[in-house]
Amino acid sequence: MNDLIATAQDLDKHAASVRAGFAAMSPAPARRYTNPNPRPAPEDDVETEVLAAPVESTDQRVLRESGILGKIDFRWQGVADISRLTGDLLTKKEKGQLAELQSALDRLAAEMDSAARIPLNPHKIAAAAPLGEPPSTEAIEAGIAGDDGRRFRKTMAKAAAVRFFEEKCRPIVLGIYGKAAALLEAAILDRRKGEEQAFEVFAKTYHDDDTGDFYKPSPGLIRMMSRRRQLLDAEIPHSSPPSLRSALSGVLVF
């Protein structure tokens, strides 16, 4: 019995020795880095893609609201003078307010112009003074300041004009643009209907068998739509110095 136990122990030692030998010949691979936050499987990471509705451009809006099919880039078209349609857009008091604002802009524009005309040459300063009297202190100081002083005075007047326009005039101009655009929409619809009716009569009279002809808006109607696009986009024409008359040119007479 003791011999059997000894034999079993010897076999166990031999097996352990064999395993140790194989382990020495093929060491276990080093432990690799594992991400503590593994990315889920593709099927678990599927998010519902929300397709944003395409943004409608102002050109497309104007065409749609005018009831006209097609594609026109109104930025390359001329704009119509719609002042004949907007005569009653503002009250007499509102037009008076526009005139007052324009007067303030005119005064600032005059200051810019006078600053640009300040004489710098001593002979010109003396020639500008009344005969037999010395030049004024202001003229002398302006001449001493030279071109830098003249440019400073002109820039200062322009900055004051721009600030006045942005704070006092721009909100009023944009309000007028909104009213004019709404008024112009109705005028465009009326003209489009009139043109379509005239086209149908013409086609029926002269092209009974010609089915290829289709209505196209006239150049005048396109200019009206182009003006409406400009009003809806609040595109104020640039002018230097700023001017209400320039901003409302072709839109409103005041």
Distances (CA, A) of 28 to 17, 20, 25, 33, 34: 17, 12, 10, 15, 17
134-183 tens-digit pLDDT: 888 888 888 888 888 888 989 999 999 999 999 999 999 999 999 999 99
Q: How many Å is the Cα radius of gyration of the chain?
A: 42
8-52 tens-digit pLDDT: 566 566 566 656 655 555 555 555 555 556 565 555 554 555 666
Is the predicted pLDDT of residue 64 greater than 70, yes or no?
Answer: yes
- In contact, 152 and 107? CB cutoff 8 Å: no
Distances (CA, A) of 65 to 2, 184, 214, 228: 109, 11, 19, 11
Q: What does the mean pLDDT of the chain come to?
A: 83
Annotated domain spans of the chain: 58-247
Mean pLDDT, range 195-214, rounded to an integer: 76
**pLDDT interval class at 232 (50, 70, 90):** very high
